[in-house]
Amino acid sequence: MTSAHTGRVADIARHRLTPAARYTLGLAGAVVGLLAIMAALYPQFADSANVEVLAMNFILEAFMALGMTAVIVSGGIDLSVSAVLPFAAIVTGLLLRAGAPVPIAIGIALLASAGIGALNATMRQVLRVHPFIVTLATMLSLKGVNLVITGGAPVAGFPESFAFLGRGRLLGLPFALVLFAALAVAIGWLLAHHRYGQQVYLIGGNVRAARLSGVNVERVLVLVYVLCSSLAGLAGVVAASQYVSASTGFGQNSELRVITAVAIGGASLNGGTGSVGGSVLGVLFLAIVYNAFGMSGVSTYWQDVVSGVMVLGAVLLAQAAAREGRTRRAVGPGERPAAAQVR
Amino acid sequence: MVLVVSGLLALAEPRFLNASNLVSVGTGMIYDLPVAAGMTLVLALGGIDLSVGAIIGLTSVVTAMYLRSGGSVVLAVPIALAAAGGAGALNGLLVARFRVAPFLVTLGTMSIARGTATVLTSGYYLSGLPPAYIEIGRGQLLGVPYPVFVVLGVVVVFDVLLRRWKPLHDAYYAGTNPPAALLSGIDVGRLVFAGYVASALAAGLSAVFMTSRLAMGYARFGELAELRAIAAAVLGGASFSGGTGSILGAALGVLLLAVISNGFVLLKLSVYWQGVVSGLILVVAIAVDASRRRRNESR
């Protein structure tokens, strides 16, 4: 009974998991393995202080990855996030300096960020061009706007109460981390289980089929881009609070790091696949690797090389998993009933 | 559009038409022109190449390191092109053979190339290149730098080949409908592979001139070159869905971007506005493209 039985259980488990789920599990395993290796090599790695540094170093990318996942699942892309981040930070900073109350300053910054998302979605729809080009245009223009409204100088001089967002603590954890966890759970649930979330997958998988089955594609896409932009705005507000200043230099190349993390998390740029859980693991993976470089004293210049290799590796693996899934489905019908019987 | 902008600029600032200013606009374009031409081919094939800017940095560093280790000037150019072509071959292999999304492939190779260049130099400039090498970029014939002739030659030949030469012209068909192209006997995979190699070689050429004219190797050369190249190609009629675009159009796109940034200098406008305006130009280009497509559809 024992070995044959466990073998069959493992077999069933493998059959019941989708390729995407298996990939995510593998990634989780890789993250845990990486953590274990680092903890074994460097005792100070598992230090709670270092774990916190590790998490907080990538907190901005983590916020952005939540929205980017939705965009990439819908079959799009948003390059403008790296401009929205400093934009929201600067708007908040300028309003605070002008004496606006903290909640109002944050609210206006988030609304403005959401507006940019709506603009992206509208341009995509009206001009009917690939979101890459639309959001590239938005990114370039908005970075210019950031420079124009600040004159290139950092904005500083915020009230004490504003620092809570980026530096305060709740339940013994950094407040931003708690906020992120709550948002990750909410957006993860939304994408996986809510009707709108499922429509996002449908659109990314096959727009025409989605439209034929009555999905209001344009409205869902507006929501997706607004979500992505708002989260980039939130990341900007958090950054302004963390650094107690706002600068046009915030978020340089963050769009690439975020897309890298989401791709490592198993989302395909063709749309239709990906999950918030996977993306969070992707961010964590990047964060650990970057932290490991700092810890081991290897030149940080290697980070780019490694993150590039990881993107390629992750994409190839995810693709291999998907291909295996396809061939299995092709020969599947004979196997399925057998599995069902055992169950 | 180029004429309109140039005309406006000439009216606003007569110095625009000075011979020396025109030459400086022309020489400013030599780096972007080859890259935009290569990008046009890749876009026509339905792909995208984000790695060209990083390939410029890597090629520049490799060339400078080779020269500083006492390498011969004659071999430096082939070595630079081989380094660039190798990176392009990696892109081509992953896209054509393993069918990975070009955006992700070239995003990955972009990080790898830029990272490797930075690791090799620890972020420092590599100066002290032999004068004979510097002469490649700075030498002049009839008062015009050599690279201008080379780049113009490459662009013209490339343009004619893409228009007239059947094996290359097939790129449009392969970009529009790969399965149909495959059925009609076009080796789509090989064409896509060649497209990425050509794009990387173009970036390598740009790196050779940049390294020579600026007399140093630097890992950060070519930053954002991929975005300018994409913008120029799209301004010149290329589309993200593949199947369109021309080298001549892309060259006009580069010219437009160059004239505009020259205008910023001449009119002494803050460089801060430059980003806003280049973003807006891209939006205008997209709108033009969209209306063009709509007209075609309604016909």
**Among A259, A246, A287, which residue's Cα sits nearest to residue A80?**
A259
pLDDT band at A334 (very low <50, low <70, confident <90, very high): very low
pLDDT of residue A8: 53
Instruction: Select the more confidently predicted residue: A302 or B278.
Output: A302
Tally the domains of chain A. Answer: 1
A146-160, A191-205, B135-149, B282-296, range with the lowest pLDDT: B282-296
List, in sequence order, the alpha helices (H) in chain A.
2-16, 19-41, 48-57, 59-73, 81-97, 102-127, 131-150, 164-167, 175-193, 195-205, 207-212, 217-243, 254-264, 276-296, 302-331, 335-342
Structural domain harbouring A109: 22-325
pLDDT of residue A341: 34
Q: Please give the full DSSP string across A168-180, using - where no structure is assigned.
A: -EETTEEHHHHHH
Q: Which residue of B has its CA nearest to A143?
A: B275
Q: What are phi and psi of A173, to 5 degrees?
A: -115, 155
Q: What is the mean pLDDT of chain B?
A: 83
Q: Do the Cβ atoms of A260 and A306 come closer than 8 Å? A: no
Q: Which residue of B has its CA nearest to A269?
A: B101
Q: Which residue of A has its CA nearest to B50?
A: A256
Contact at CB, B104 and A312, closer than 8 angstroms: yes
Of A130, A268, A299, the CB nearest to B240: A130
Tell me the chain B residues in contact with residue A142 when contact means C-beta distances shorter than 8 Å: 279
* The residue count for chain A: 343
Tell me the chain A residues in contact with residue B289 when contact means C-beta distances shorter than 8 Å: 127, 129
pLDDT band at A116 (very low <50, low <70, confident <90, very high): very high
Three-state DSSP class for residue B125: coil
Residue A257 lies in a domain: yes
pLDDT band at A331 (very low <50, low <70, confident <90, very high): very low
Query: Please, which residues have CB within 8 angstroms of residue B212's CB and are 6 or more apart in sequence?
Result: B129, B133, B134, B135, B136, B137, B138, B147
DSSP state, residue B96: I
Q: Which residue of A has its CA nearest to B226?
A: A136
Contact at CB, B286 and A129, closer than 8 angstroms: yes
A residues 223-252 closer than 8 Å to B (CB): none
For residue B26, the one-letter residue type is G
Residue A99's region, left for phi above 0, alpha for psi from -120 to 50, else beta, is: left
**Among A111, A158, A121, A119, which residue's Cα sits nearest to residue A142?**
A119
Contact at CB, A312 and B100, closer than 8 angstroms: yes
B residues 73-112 closer than 8 Å to A (CB): 94, 98-101, 103-105, 107-112
Tokens of B233: 């190609």
Residue A339 lies in a domain: no
Instruction: Select the more confidently predicted residue: B123 or A113.
Output: A113
Predicted confidence (pLDDT) per residue in A185-204, tens digit: 999 999 888 888 888 898 88
Structural domain harbouring B98: 2-298
Neighbours of B199 (CB within 10 A): 34
Tell me the chain B residues in contact with residue A306 when contact means C-beta distances shorter than 8 Å: 115
Residue B258's region, left for phi above 0, alpha for psi from -120 to 50, else beta, is: alpha
The alpha carbon of B150 is separated from its chain's Cα centroid by a whole number of angstroms, namely 14
Tell me the chain A residues in contact with residue B116 when contact means C-beta distances shorter than 8 Å: 305
pLDDT band at A26 (very low <50, low <70, confident <90, very high): confident
* ipTM given for this complex: 0.72
Report the run of H or E that residue B182 belongs to, with start and end: helix B178-183
pLDDT of residue B285: 67
Any idea what the CATH number is for the domain that residue A172 is in?
1.10.3470.10
Of B104, B239, B241, the CB nearest to A311: B104
Mean pLDDT of B173-198: 85
Of A148, A256, A301, the CB nearest to B118: A301
Any idea what the CATH number is for the domain that residue B139 is in?
1.10.3470
- CA triple B76-B80-B86, angle to 5 deg: 145
Of A126, A151, A308, the CB nearest to B111: A308
Angle of helix A19-41 relative to helix A302-331, nearest 10 degrees? 150
Of A140, A299, A311, the CB nearest to B275: A140
Tell me the sheet residues that pair with A170: A173
Predicted confidence (pLDDT) per residue in B202-234, tens digit: 999 999 999 998 888 898 888 878 888 888 888
**A9 pLDDT higher than 60:** no
pLDDT of residue B51: 92
**B89 pLDDT higher than 90:** yes
pLDDT band at A86 (very low <50, low <70, confident <90, very high): very high
Residue A298 lies in a domain: yes
On whether any CB of chain A is under 8 Å from the CB of B264, the answer is no
Tell me the chain B residues in contact with residue A268 when contact means C-beta distances shorter than 8 Å: 101
pLDDT of residue B1: 56
Tell me the chain A residues in contact with residue B239 when contact means C-beta distances shorter than 8 Å: 129
B residues 40-69 closer than 8 Å to A (CB): 48
Q: Give CB contacts under 8 A, 24+ apart, made by B151-158.
A: B151/B29, B151/B30, B151/B33, B151/B34, B151/B205, B151/B209, B154/B33, B154/B34, B154/B37, B154/B202, B154/B205, B155/B33, B155/B34, B155/B37, B155/B247, B155/B248, B155/B251, B158/B37, B158/B41, B158/B247
**A73 pLDDT higher than 70:** yes
Burial group, residue A25, by CB count within 10 angstroms (0-12, 13-18, 19+): middle
Contact at CB, B115 and A139, closer than 8 angstroms: no
**A2 pLDDT higher than 60:** no
Q: How far apart are the CA of B138 and the nearest CA of chain A, in angstroms?
A: 32
Tokens of A32: 């845990």
Q: How far apart are the CA of B281 and the nearest CA of chain A, in angstroms?
A: 8
pLDDT band at A227 (very low <50, low <70, confident <90, very high): very high
Residue A8 lies in a domain: no
Residue A250 lies in a domain: yes
Residue A333 lies in a domain: no
